[in-house]
Amino acid sequence: MPLRDTLLNLAITCVLVLIVVLVAILLKESRPVPVAALPVGVAQVPAGQTADGARVALPEFKVFPKARLIESRTNEADTLRIKVSDTEDEHVFVLYFVDALDASTTHPQRVQEQGRYFGVSSQRVVEEGQRAVAYVTQLLKQHAFTVMTRWEEVPGLSRYYALILVEIHPGRPPVYLADLLVQKGYARVAGVTTSLPADSRSLNDYALELQQLRQQAQRDKAGVWAASNL
């Protein structure tokens, strides 16, 4: 190929490359400048609660001094539906330290286990369990009570462990509902334990006092102990 044709082709190629580059630059400058992304606010979750509404166990007890019992067919002497305040929903609370007599045969194995512990028949367990529910219902309807909870959840259930203090006598220190149930012969000392908020007694001291109440109830033939063969 003659030198002149070669130079002409090279010049044409350079011109085409230059045109492509210029077009690319013009297209880039003609694009709209992207708008900066607006920051998205993080959903605020109330303290002690997850995003899906579930409770999270707290390191300290939360105290609800104006709690109100909600009567329910599913209530047991130690498992109660309660509205803790005007701003809170209803919750089911299970007492620390005690296992009250079952008021139905919904859990037959537990009823049998309670029968063996107290030395009575399963039928007597349920009968006394129903009396225990009636006692607690009347008690909490007649007397002011306070719920203290860390929102510690009962495994596998939408229930939370709690301490309940009942103002039996105005002007005197309130009494734990767990104490009253053991004293009346309606519960055994069992279940999940916890430290006692604003209480000078240690966990071991309180557990020992509960056992003493249980022994006294057995001697007095209180509640279910009246039918015991032990």
DSSP state letters, 139-155: HHHHS-EEEEE--PBPT
Residues with Cβ within 8 Å of 56's Cβ and at least 6 positions away in sequence, in order, are: 48, 49, 50, 151
Phi, psi of 114 (to 5 degrees): -65, -40
Residues 78 and 192 in one domain: yes
Residue 131, number of CB atoms within 10 A of its CB: 18
Q: How many domains does the chain have?
A: 2
The residue range of the domain holding 103 is 62-227
Say which residue, 86 or 193, is predicted with more confidence: 193
pLDDT of residue 38: 34
pLDDT of the residue at 47: 46
- Assigned domain for 77 exists: yes
pLDDT in tens, 98-120: 999 999 999 999 999 999 999 99
221 domain residue, yes or no:
yes
97: left (phi over 0), alpha (psi -120 to 50) or beta: left
- State pLDDT tens for residues 157-194: 899 999 999 999 988 999 999 999 999 999 999 999 99
Count Cβ neighbours within 10 Å for each residue of 181-215 and write b for 16 or more, e otherwise: bbbbbbbbbebeebebeeeeeeeeebeeebeebbe
Residue 226 has pLDDT above 50, yes or no: yes
Assess whether 119 and 16 both reside in one domain.
no
Distance between CA atoms of 58 and 161, rounded to whole angstroms? Answer: 12
CATH code of the domain covering residue 187: 2.40.50.90
Integer Cα distance of 220 and 184 in angstroms: 9
Nearest alpha carbon to residue 185 among 223, 211, 137: 223
pTM of this structure: 0.77
Q: Does residue 52 lie within any of the structural domains?
A: no
